Amino acid sequence: MAQAQKEIEDYIGSVKSVLQDTGSSETEISVILREMRDHIDEAMSEPDADPAQLLTELDPPESYGETIRPDDNNEPDRLGHIGFFGGLFFLICGFVIAPNIASGSFEKMAPPVVVMGLILSLTLGVAGRKGKFGLASLLLFLAILALITLIGIAGG
């Protein structure tokens, strides 16, 4: 029985290592391990409990790394955030800040700054299009483009 207990503790230790490698928080790890111990204790309390059989029925420790974080790829969301807020930053700089720095600066500074906002919003919006901010970034691109078109039509 002591050998079986050691094997169970080794299994739990392996699961803990896998969870730590996936970047799970200490709170997540302790909850998962506590639930696992409760499950094992409950199974072992049965009169005909077989520790060796129990260990073969448990999922391999590596599987916990796959199930805890099945899709940890937040790259589209990050790109969408950068595209949206970056485009918004360049839009504000081009249309609000640049004209107030010095007279005549709008004609000199605003177009390149706004074009940078367009490029940033479009490229990162396309890259992050699967996230909500990626779509917002694409909408910002269209809004900046429409604003530039309206200014061009009104000024031309």
Question: Average of pLDDT values for 26-54?
Answer: 86
Q: Please give the share of the chain, as a percent, with pLDDT higher than 90.
A: 2
Which amino acid belongs to residue 126? V
pLDDT tens for each residue of 106-154:
566 667 777 777 777 777 777 777 777 777 888 888 887 887 788 777 7
Write down the pLDDT at residue 97. Answer: 67
- Nearest residue to 21 (alpha-carbon basis) of 71, 60, 66, 55: 66
Domain ranges of the chain: 2-68, 75-155
Considering only CA atoms, which of 100, 101, 94 is closest in space to residue 144? 94
Kindly report the average pLDDT of the chain as a whole number: 76
Residues 139, 145: Cα–Cα separation, whole Å = 10
Tell me the C-alpha distance between 135 and 129, whole Å. Answer: 5
Q: Which residue has the higher pLDDT, 72 or 29?
A: 29
Q: Give the pLDDT confidence score for residue 13 in this predicted structure.
A: 92
- Residues 67-92: pLDDT tens digits? 555 444 556 667 777 777 877 787 77
Place 105 in a pLDDT band, splitting at 50, 70 and 90. low
Counting every residue, how long is the chain? Answer: 156
pTM over 0.75: no
- Residue 71, judged by CB atoms within 10 A of its CB (0-12, 13-18, 19+), counts as exposed
